[in-house]
Amino acid sequence: MHNAGRSQMAAALLYHHAQGRVTVRSAGSAPADTVNPAVLQVMNELGLDLSQEFPKELAADAVEAADVVITMSCGDACPVFPGKRYLDWELTDPAGKSIEDVRPIRDDIDRCVRALLAELVPEAAK
- What is the C-alpha R_g of the chain? 14
Q: Give the pLDDT confidence of 46-65 residue by residue, as tens digits.
A: 999 999 999 999 888 888 88
pLDDT band at 81 (very low <50, low <70, confident <90, very high): confident
Handedness of CA 101, 107, 108, 113 (dihedral sign): positive
Q: Are 68 and 120 in contact (CB under 8 A)?
A: yes
pLDDT band at 6 (very low <50, low <70, confident <90, very high): very high
CA atoms within 13 A on the CB side of 85: 5
| pLDDT over 80 (residue 73) | no
18 by Cβ neighbours in 10 Å (0-12 / 13-18 / 19+) ranks as middle
